[in-house]
């Protein structure tokens, strides 16, 4: 089957739709001499008007679908098309140099973009992207081509791209986008995590084979298997339409677990929680009956904007989440920026190895004001529900102590201001660095809980970049080395009377859940769509039996051996 491409299944689902390639338009218009410059200027004028009509339509659609904030960008685009420095200057160039409109506009816009990019001001630098976008739109009109933009999709589409940044993913038009395929990335890259929270089918890391897909090709995306089929035959279409129906039926069957408790076959209660990236994910968390929120990745509040969110803005979001969860625990992680997550308005030094650099808690301790604002917002929100604050990427005890000291200072300050703070607030850390896992017994004394971040813990244990598909085979959650670290963390928590959870992707993996249960994990936090299948699975498992089986797995020699063992056990129990 030569039209079958294989990648990493990043977010389950099956979609059949037209492909849409998302690629930056880097073409340069050709310079041509024109005789009749008046006619050429008229052509430019008409193209600008046509572009304005398009932008206005998109602005209205965006306003309706996504609200005024997202629509603002298109107002700025309309404004730019009236800017004399751009269009008038291009008109002048047509006159003075006798060149074609495409070329004149491109030249003028390039000069403006270069000037903007060299500015000190971040906001102005970002305007360069807007100038590029509108210029591309007008040039497409002049060349009689359709200008491609995500916001203009009007039919069911599967996006094909080199990669999608977290903010690209956050802005996808869910009315038409049915899934995406990327050239790079892995199961734990942030675009994959976003896809799961949006419940969008996604296959990532298919390598440069994405070049075999053209816009308009029909593709089948079977993200349950990591398969992409380009221009399928009728037989393939029939087979996958059936699989799609079966998959959807399975999802419906799972719905009967929404109201059920998360209890094992031998009566042990666990907590099946959900990860969120913002308030938009809450609906799915509630619809899937999650017992708690085990990870709120707050960095998404800071992304896709031009300045830091204020204390008030953050407070409103945290309060909203806590209230919606009605007394169920909400673990909110403090800012985890760095690595593959950047903020355009935060100038960070260029690092050779960003994943090993000034990331997460390291950055927050370095930029204390940033951290304090977030902590104040969290402390103020704490009285509106059951809040747990979690610090990411703790490597050593001194970082935890420093973070707690700052938190305490902010709590005292708020009290002096007469602002109430909950006295049941929990404070915990993520275990994502092998050093922290190995020293979990030391850290356990000074926290209320641990949450194991396996996405990073595996990356750092295996020394394999989670974004690099060339080493994605080393993402081995079932490897005994990882299971042993997980066991150390759970045992350390137990010994000190603290709870241990997991919020990395491993927590929602049906072949890992039995082992984690057996090792004594209390809380499993996953994408909302995994909660019901996990609850159904847990209801069939005996914790007692799996604690013996997990011990056996720890002594095995490879991930494959462990996987075969788990699958065989699950089959024999079915």
Active site residues: 190, 503
- Residue of the chain from 93, 100, 186, 455 that contacts ligand PEP (CB under 6 A): 455
Find tokens 């079932």 and name the residue: 478
Please give the size of the binding site for Mg ion, defined by CB under 5 A: 3
- Residue of the chain from 456, 465, 509, 523 that contacts ligand PEP (CB under 6 A): 456
CA dist 255 and 260 (Å) reads 10
250-258, 271-279, 313-321, 448-456 -> range binding Mg ion (CB under 5 A):
448-456
Residues 266-305, interacting with ligand PEP (CB under 6 A): 295, 297
- Residue of the chain from 453, 477, 508, 514 that contacts Mg ion (CB under 5 A): 453
Continuous H helices in 231-294? 234-254, 282-287
Categorise residue 499: left if φ over 0, alpha if ψ from -120 to 50, beta otherwise: beta
Q: Which does 297 bind (CB under 5 to 8 A by kind): ligand PEP, Mg ion, none?
A: ligand PEP
Using CB under 6 A as the binding rule, whether residue 325 contacts ligand PEP is answered as: no
313-321, 435-443, 454-462, 547-555 -> range binding ligand PEP (CB under 6 A):
454-462
Q: Are 478 and 464 in contact (CB under 8 A)?
A: no
Helix (H) / strand (E) containing 562: helix 559-573
Furthest C-alpha separation in the chain: 87
Could you give the string, one character per residue 457-496, with x where binding to ligand PEP holds by CB under 6 A and - elsewhere? Answer: ----------------------------------------
Residues 172-191, interacting with ligand PEP (CB under 6 A): 188
Using CB under 6 A as the binding rule, whether residue 428 contacts ligand PEP is answered as: no
Q: Are 149 and 172 in contact (CB under 8 A)?
A: no
C-alpha 240: how far from chain center: 27
Q: Which CB atom, from 454 or from 569, has the smaller least distance to ligand PEP?
A: 454
Backbone angles phi, psi at 220, to 5 degrees: -105, 130
Rounded to the nearest whole angstrom, what is the least distance from the CB of residue 202 to ligand PEP in the complex? 15
CA dist 277 and 65 (Å) reads 20
Q: Which CB atom, from 229 or from 486, has the smaller least distance to ligand PEP?
A: 486
C-alpha distances out from residue 75 to 55, 80, 212, Å = 8, 9, 36
Q: Which CB atom, from 284 or from 466, has the smaller least distance to ligand PEP?
A: 466
Residues 410-439, interacting with Mg ion (CB under 5 A): 432
Using CB under 5 A as the binding rule, whether residue 509 contacts Mg ion is answered as: no
Rounded to the nearest whole angstrom, what is the least distance from the CB of residue 478 to ligand PEP in the complex? 15
Q: Which does 164 bind (CB under 5 to 8 A by kind): ligand PEP, Mg ion, none?
A: none
Using CB under 5 A as the binding rule, whether residue 185 contacts Mg ion is answered as: no
Backbone angles phi, psi at 439, to 5 degrees: -110, 25
Using CB under 5 A as the binding rule, whether residue 299 contacts Mg ion is answered as: no
Using CB under 6 A as the binding rule, whether residue 453 contacts ligand PEP is answered as: yes
The one-character DSSP state at 207 is G
Distant-in-sequence, close-in-space partners of 421: CB < 8 Å, separation ≥ 6: 379, 380, 382, 383, 411, 414, 415
Using CB under 6 A as the binding rule, whether residue 454 contacts ligand PEP is answered as: yes
Distant-in-sequence, close-in-space partners of 373: CB < 8 Å, separation ≥ 6: 308, 310, 311, 314
CA dist 298 and 390 (Å) reads 11
Three-class SS state of 42? helix
93-101, 200-208, 434-442, 450-458 -> range binding ligand PEP (CB under 6 A):
450-458
C-alpha 19: how far from chain center: 22
Three-class SS state of 545? helix
> Strand locations in 355-457, DSSP E?
386-391, 426-431, 449-452
Using CB under 6 A as the binding rule, whether residue 503 contacts ligand PEP is answered as: yes
Could you give the string, one character per residue 88-127, with x where binding to Mg ion holds by CB under 5 A and - elsewhere? Answer: ----------------------------------------
Using CB under 5 A as the binding rule, whether residue 456 contacts Mg ion is answered as: yes
Binding site for ligand PEP (CB under 6 A): 188, 295, 297, 336, 432, 453-456, 503-504
């Amino acid at each position: 089957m030569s039209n079958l491409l294989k990648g990493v299944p990043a977010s389950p689902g099956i979609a059949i739709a037209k492909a849409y390639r998302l690629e930056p338009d880097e073409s340069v218009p050709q310079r041509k001499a024109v005789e009749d410059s008046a006619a050429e200027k008229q052509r430019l004028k008409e193209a600008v008007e046509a572009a304005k009509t398009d932008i206005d339509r998109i602005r209205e659609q965006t306003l309706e679908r996504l609200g005024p904030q997202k629509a603002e960008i298109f107002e700025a685009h309309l404004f730019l098309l009236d800017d004399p420095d751009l269009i008038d200057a291009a008109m002048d160039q047509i006159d003075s140099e006798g060149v074609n409109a495409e070329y004149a506009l491109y030249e003028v816009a390039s000069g403006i973009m270069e000037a903007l990019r060299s500015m000190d001001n971040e906001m102005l630098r970002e305007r360069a992207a807007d100038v590029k976008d509108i210029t591309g739109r007008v040039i497409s009109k002049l060349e009689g081509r359709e200008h491609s933009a995500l916001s203009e999709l009007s039919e069911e589409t599967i996006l094909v791209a080199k990669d999608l940044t977290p903010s690209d993913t956050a802005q996808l038009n869910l009315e038409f986008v049915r899934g995406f395929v990327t050239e790079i990335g892995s199961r734990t890259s942030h675009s994959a995590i976003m896809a799961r929270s949006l419940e969008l089918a996604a296959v990532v890391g298919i390598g440069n084979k994405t070049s075999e897909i053209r816009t308009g090709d029909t593709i089948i995306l079977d993200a349950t298997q990591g398969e992409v089929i380009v221009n399928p035959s009728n037989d393939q279409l029939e087979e996958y339409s059936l699989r799609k129906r079966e998959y959807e039926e399975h999802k419906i069957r799972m719905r009967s677990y929404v109201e059920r408790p998360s209890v094992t076959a031998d009566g042990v209660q666990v907590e099946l929680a959900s990860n969120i990236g913002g308030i938009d994910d809450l609906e799915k968390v509630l619809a899937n009956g999650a017992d708690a929120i085990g990870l709120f990745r707050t960095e998404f509040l800071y992304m896709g904007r031009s300045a830091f969110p204020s204390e008030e803005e953050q407070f409103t979001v945290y309060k909203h989440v806590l209230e919606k969860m009605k007394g169920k625990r909400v673990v909110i992680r403090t800012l985890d920026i760095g690595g593959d997550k950047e903020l355009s308005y935060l100038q960070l030094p260029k690092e050779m190895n960003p994943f090993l650099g000034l990331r997460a808690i390291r950055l927050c301790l370095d930029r204390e004001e940033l951290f304090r604002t977030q902590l104040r917002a969290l402390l103020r929100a704490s009285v509106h529900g059951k809040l747990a604050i979690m610090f990411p990427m703790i490597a050593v005890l001194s970082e935890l102590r420093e973070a707690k000291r700052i938190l305490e200072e902010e709590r005292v300050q708020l009290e002096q201001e007469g602002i109430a703070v909950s006295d049941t607030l929990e404070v915990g850390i993520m275990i994502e660095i092998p050093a922290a896992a190995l020293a979990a017994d030391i850290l356990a004394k000074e926290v209320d809980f641990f949450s194991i971040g396996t996405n990073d813990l595996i990356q750092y244990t295996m020394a394999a970049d989670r974004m690099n598909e060339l080493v994605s085979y080393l993402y081995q959650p079932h490897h005994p080395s990882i299971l042993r670290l997980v066991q150390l963390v759970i045992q350390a928590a137990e010994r000190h009377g603290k709870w241990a959870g997991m919020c990395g992707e491993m927590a929602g993996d049906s072949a890992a859940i039995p082992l984690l249960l057996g090792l004594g994990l209390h809380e499993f936090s996953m994408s909302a769509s995994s909660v019901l299948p996990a609850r159904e699975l847990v209801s069939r498992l005996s914790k007692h039996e799996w604690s013996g089986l997990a011990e056996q797995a720890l002594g095995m020699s490879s991930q494959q051996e462990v996987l075969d063992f788990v699958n065989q056990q699950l089959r024999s129990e079915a």
